[in-house]
Amino acid sequence: MILTLNKMLTKSSLEGEFFVEEIMNLQNESDIRGIAMDTQEYQANLTVSAVREIAAGIVNWLNKMEKKDELTVGVGRDSRLSGPELKEALIEELIHSGVNVYDFGLATTPALFMSTQFSQFSCDAGVMLTASHLPYYYNGIKVFSQKGGAEKEDITYILSHTEKRQGVTAGKLTEADLLTVYANNLVAKIRTASYKDTEKPLTGFKIVVDAGNGAGGFFTEKVLQVLGADTSGSQFLTPDGNFPNHIPNPDNKEAMRSIQDAVLTNHADLGVIFDTDVDRSAVVTKSGDVLNRNNLIAVLSRIVLTEHPGTSIVTNSPTSDHLKDFIESLDGKQVRYISGYRNVINKALELNHAGVDTQLAIETSGHAAFKENYFLDDGAYVIAKILMLLPKLQEEGKSLESLIADLKQPLETQEVRFKLEAENYRALGKKIIEQIVDIQIPGWQIDPENDEGIRFRLSQPYGQGWFLLRMSLHEPLLVLQIENDEKGYIVPVLKKMQQFLNNYPEVNQEKLTPLIANV
């Protein structure tokens, strides 16, 4: 059988079961992702049969950890078209395995974790069907225990231990409204933290939400309106797995233009945008300025450094040098670490365990996790932290932009992704990164404060800035990110990179060529 994707699964014609080595290919670091719907280009591999196998693996993983006579698991999904069918299969297999199940229906990833903490549910695990911002034909599974998100080794165990339990009494099924409980918890926290002694501290504020037809539409009615905000002008709140308006991704330019337009058209005080499963978010200010990536990290850093002076903040590696200067100017410390939300969270946990107070772990993609919130990457909680501050800022005549007025912005930025057309693409990427260490170009100096790929500081004759060359976490790509504080120096750096990469014919430079052509 010819596989369309490396991750394609085949079904055994004799047993109707998935081979272990094939189902293992659904692992995406610390979660599970695959094609859930056949398309002209792709054949589904995250099928009903695969989900049944995975459900059995989740039960075996829980039994290994919990060693309890009775297990309870909460299950939810985002708005994807494949969600209802896969959820039904997941729940059915869990019940047949003797597990009691809460069917939470449409939910968010952070809410599923909180189902393990809320006393009315006390789930031993929360299981969320989602593939974040990926196209409509994808789906995936994220798993949480009461201690936090599953790690890479946990997912490996789940996918490699799919034997089904025999002779057990079937569990019971209960339908429950998780989102309302989760929203009420957010509302209570915002009220408590607000300096206004009122049930509706957001009265007088106009806040528009863009849910991208994902699972985040609840935030308008169940959080903002309850707190007194006017949410007229909010858009794409209705769950629709076709994602007909734009990709639900705060890191996507089209999505961000959409919420910017909504803010300016409706003369809103704030715009909020979520990804599909609400573990990421970004905001747009009254003036239409986007607070995402480095800017969002800066805003949240100022908040946590006000609450916890001197704390450390873990970020992923592609953050600007200006962000480091900003955090240090507030007497904080930035720790740049490997990309991947679990990586930055685990680094923060490691630092705290070592006695280094670390209150925030955040990626430029928008994944942000606070120590005070179980180090859960929760897009709605990020917005809650900003909403806690908003009334006070207004009272003082300040804006959100004022929080990062001292954050210098680069004059030019560029990202280029190079496809690695080699069977062992990771070995090729590693070789390139190792060999660029020896490059001798005046004005290029290796930055030692880096744990991912290789980072160079740039000086004359290449302006003033930096670039980072790293492997993509999940795709056969080398990613080059460049920032410069002087105009006209991006292309000279790209030309030098082209000369260097010409030594590696398996590096596809088609994304680079148009950027330097005729320049």
- Residue 22 phi/psi, 5-degree rounding, is -80, -45
Q: Checking DSSP bridges between strand 270-274 and strand 207-210, what pairing results, if any?
A: parallel
Q: What is the pLDDT of residue 316?
A: 97
Amino acid found at 327 = I
Span 345-372, mean pLDDT? 97
- For residue 342, which of 109, 76, 56, 21 has the smallest C-alpha distance? 109
Q: Checking DSSP bridges between strand 454-458 and strand 312-316, what pairing results, if any?
A: unpaired
Q: Give the confidence band of 20 by pLDDT, cuts at 50, 70, 90.
A: low
Q: Find the helix or strand (DSSP H, E) in which 360 lies.
A: strand 358-362
Q: What is the pLDDT of residue 16?
A: 43
| Tens of pLDDT, residues 141-168 | 999 999 999 999 999 999 999 999 888 9
Q: Which residue has the tokens 């170009």?
A: 441
Q: Which residue has the tokens 């060693």?
A: 67
Amino acid found at 126 = G
Q: Which residues contact 245 (CB under 8 A, 6 or more apart)?
A: 212, 213, 235, 236, 258
Q: What is the pLDDT of residue 2?
A: 30
Q: Which two tokens stand for residue 362?
A: 């955040």
Sheet with 465-471, strands from edge to edge, namely: 444-446, 454-458, 465-471, 477-484, 412-420, 507-508
Amino acid found at 498 = Q
Please report, for residues 26, 67, 396, 423, the alpha-carbon distance to residue 63 in angstroms, rounded to integers and kept in the order given.
22, 5, 54, 38
CA gap 471, 454 in Å, rounded: 10
| Tens of pLDDT, residues 367-405 | 999 999 999 999 999 999 999 999 999 999 999 999 999
* Residue 438 neighbours by CB distance under 10 Å: 6
Which residues are bridge partners to 315 per DSSP? 336, 362
Q: Which pTM value belongs to this model?
A: 0.92
Please report, for residues 129, 184, 218, 285, the alpha-carbon distance to residue 225 in angstroms, rounded to integers and kept in the order given.
28, 12, 10, 19
Torsion, CA 177, CA 180, CA 186, CA 187, rounded to 10: -160
CA angle 425, 426, 432 (to 5 degrees): 90
Span 187-212, mean pLDDT? 95
Span 403-416, mean pLDDT? 96
Are the beta carbons of 55 and 93 closer than 8 angstroms?
yes
Q: What is the pLDDT of residue 519?
A: 59
According to the 3-state scheme, what is the secondary structure of 149-182? Answer: ECCHHHHHHHHHCCCCCCCCCCCCEEECCHHHHH
CA gap 479, 433 in Å, rounded: 11
Domains of the chain in start order, with CATH, are: 20-176 (3.40.120.10), 182-404 (3.40.120.10), 412-516 (3.30.310.50)
φ/ψ region of 103 (left if φ > 0, alpha if ψ in -120 to 50, else beta) reads beta
CA gap 362, 342 in Å, rounded: 10
Span 307-326, mean pLDDT? 97
Q: What is the pLDDT of residue 21?
A: 65
Task: Output the average pLDDT for the chain.
Answer: 94
Q: Find the helix or strand (DSSP H, E) in which 77 lies.
A: strand 72-77
Percent of all residues in the chain with a pLDDT value above 90, rounded to a whole number: 92
SS3 (DSSP) at 283:
strand
Q: Which two tokens stand for residue 106?
A: 């449409």
Are the beta carbons of 375 and 272 closer than 8 angstroms?
no
Write down the number of H helices and E strands in the chain.
15, 23
CA gap 151, 139 in Å, rounded: 19
Q: Which two tokens stand for residue 353?
A: 């365990």
Span 55-82, mean pLDDT? 96
Q: Give the confidence band of 314 by pLDDT, cuts at 50, 70, 90.
A: very high
> Does position 14 have pLDDT exceeding 60, yes or no?
no
Percent of all residues in the chain with a pLDDT value above 70, rounded to a whole number: 96
